[in-house]
Amino acid sequence: MPRAFSERTFTPAVRAHQERMGSARTYAKFIEGGPQQGHLIGDAEKAFVEARDGFYQATVSETGWPYVQFRGGPEGFLKVLGPTTIGYADFSGNRQYISRGNLDGNNRIAMILMDYAIKRRLKILGRVEFTEGAAAAASLFPDGADATAERAAIIHIEALDWNCPSHITPRFTEAQLQPQLQRIGAEMEQLRAENAALKQALAQQGNTD
């Protein structure tokens, strides 16, 4: 776990529980000394972020309750704008504005980006800045989107971490399965043709007996 992430998540209560469970020494190296790390988007993170078609985000309300929401769009709708900045066009939804309102009071956000097929996930902590209006979101609007953009959402990253792949159940999108489905379909068509030819040959043989 990078230092930037552990500094923000290993609170005194977390450290106390690590002590009780015997894992504090293992994680001490991530918070004691060493250079700052784990807050910059490298080539691997950029490729991963821009290949996503959705992510989970968590905000916190004025009542202290966390609120988790899924944000989706065409592949690539989440864009890397710099080494510590990502952004997306915030589409119009059901107009409850729970996440949007939460971020007015507390601009911190936690994100989890998933690739179920290869069992990878990237966790991001950042602060959100909004610019209202469709015009502001024009440069972030992805190709193929059919929704209305209400604002530009810019996330200033403070920490990120590649999470352990254990216990991630592999899942595949229709697009990911399409090459295999096409191959199976072609094989089925070939088998149907061979079956029809065999039936015809048997029928002809029966006629000549």
| Residue 179 sits in the same domain as residue 202 | yes
| Residue 141 sits in the same domain as residue 59 | yes
CATH number of the structural domain spanning residue 114: 2.30.110.10
| Residue 50 sits in the same domain as residue 142 | yes
CB 38 within 8 A of CB 7: no
| Residue 146 sits in the same domain as residue 204 | no
| Residue 16 sits in the same domain as residue 73 | no
| Residue 68 sits in the same domain as residue 148 | yes
Burial state string for 182-207 with b = 16 or more CB within 10 A and e = fewer than 16 = eeeeeeeeeeeeeeeeeeeeeeeeee
User: 94-98, 185-189, 205-209 — which one is most confidently predicted on average?
Assistant: 185-189
Per DSSP, the residues of 96-147 read --HHHHHHHH--EEEEEEEETTTTEEEEEEEEEEEEESTTTTGGGPPTT--S
| Residue 83 sits in the same domain as residue 61 | yes
In a domain, 149, yes or no: yes
In a domain, 151, yes or no: yes
Q: What angle do CA 104, 109, 112 make, to 5 degrees?
A: 150
In a domain, 120, yes or no: yes
In a domain, 77, yes or no: yes
In a domain, 167, yes or no: no
| Residue 179 sits in the same domain as residue 78 | no
| Residue 113 sits in the same domain as residue 72 | yes
Query: How many structural domains is the chain composed of?
Result: 3
In a domain, 141, yes or no: yes
| Residue 80 sits in the same domain as residue 99 | yes
| Residue 79 sits in the same domain as residue 110 | yes
* Domain residue limits at 8: 1-37
**Model confidence pLDDT, tens digit, residues 45-93:** 999 999 999 999 999 999 999 999 999 888 989 999 999 999 999 888 7
**Model confidence pLDDT, tens digit, residues 107-163:** 999 999 999 999 999 999 999 999 888 888 888 888 777 777 889 999 999 999 998
In a domain, 20, yes or no: yes
Q: What is the pTM of this model?
A: 0.82
| Residue 109 sits in the same domain as residue 202 | no
The pLDDT value recorded for residue 209 is 64
